[in-house]
A = this chain, B = another copy of it.
C-alpha cells in the first residue's frame, strides 16, 4: 500500500503523525496502530523504526521541542526587541500547546519526557531573558533581573495558555491582553507598547520543517 520511502523521510513522517495524534488523544492513548493508520502503513512498520512505544512518543516529543527551539530562534533574529518580546509572549496560538500540557502531566512518570521538558523550559527561559535584556538595552523597559522576570513571565504565559487552550475560559485576545499588560507593568514599559505591535502571522505547524532532505513532510491540516 505505502510506497517504499527514504528511511529518514519515513521516520519524520511517523514522528509528525505521532505528534498529531498526541495532540488529539494524549500521550497515554496513542497506540502504535493509531500511528500506523495515520501514516497509512501497517503497525509492524512502526516497530521497524522505533523499538518500543515509549521510544516513539519520547522521540516525537523531542522532535517537537527541537522544532519549537528552532522556531524561537527564527523569531529572535529579524525582529525589533519590543516586537520580539510581544511575539514570544503571544506564542500561545497553535494546537501544539495541548502537547505541552499533556507533557506536563506525563513528566512526573516519564523520565525522558521530564528531561526534554526541563531542557526546553530552561532554554525558553534563557531565550526570553535575552529578549528582555535587549528590550532593556534599547531603553524600552527596565529589569533588575531579566532571568527572574523571564521565569515569572514564562509561568504566566503557561498559566494563561491553560485557561485559553485547555479550558477555553478566555479567548486568544484576552490571553494576549493579560500577558501584555502584566509584562508592560512588570518591566515598566510604556502602557500598550506590546499590544500595539502586530503579532507575527503564526507560522505553519510546530516544527517538522523539511529538515535535512528537503522533502515535503506531511503536516497536519486543520481538518485532518
Interface of A with B (CB < 8 Å)? 24-26, 28-29, 98, 101-102, 104-109, 114, 117-118, 121-122, 148, 151-152, 154-160, 162-163, 165-170, 178, 181-182, 185-186
Q: How many copies does the complex hold?
A: 2
> Of B108, B118, B157, B168, which one neighbours A159 at CB under 8 angstroms?
B157
Contact present for B166 and A162 (CB under 8 Å) = no
The interface residues of chain B lying within 8 Å CB-to-CB of A157 are: 159
The interface residues of chain B lying within 8 Å CB-to-CB of A122 are: 169
Contact present for A105 and B107 (CB under 8 Å) = no
Q: Give 8 A-B contacts (CB < 8 Å), ordered by A residue.
A: A98-B108, A118-B167, A118-B168, A118-B169, A152-B178, A155-B156, A158-B159, A159-B162
Contact present for A152 and B156 (CB under 8 Å) = yes
The majority secondary structure among interface residues of chain A is helix
> Of B102, B104, B156, B169, which one neighbours A156 at CB under 8 angstroms?
B156
The docked-state distance in angstroms from the alpha carbon of A152 to that of B189 is 18
| Distance between A20 CB and nearest chain B CB, rounded to angstroms | 14
Tell me the nearest residue of chain B to A99, going by C-beta.
B105
The interface residues of chain B lying within 8 Å CB-to-CB of A107 are: 166-167
Contact present for A26 and B106 (CB under 8 Å) = yes
Given contacts A108-B165, A155-B178, 13 further A-B contacts (CB under 8 A): A24-B109, A107-B166, A114-B168, A118-B167, A118-B168, A121-B163, A151-B178, A152-B182, A154-B159, A154-B163, A155-B163, A158-B162, A185-B185
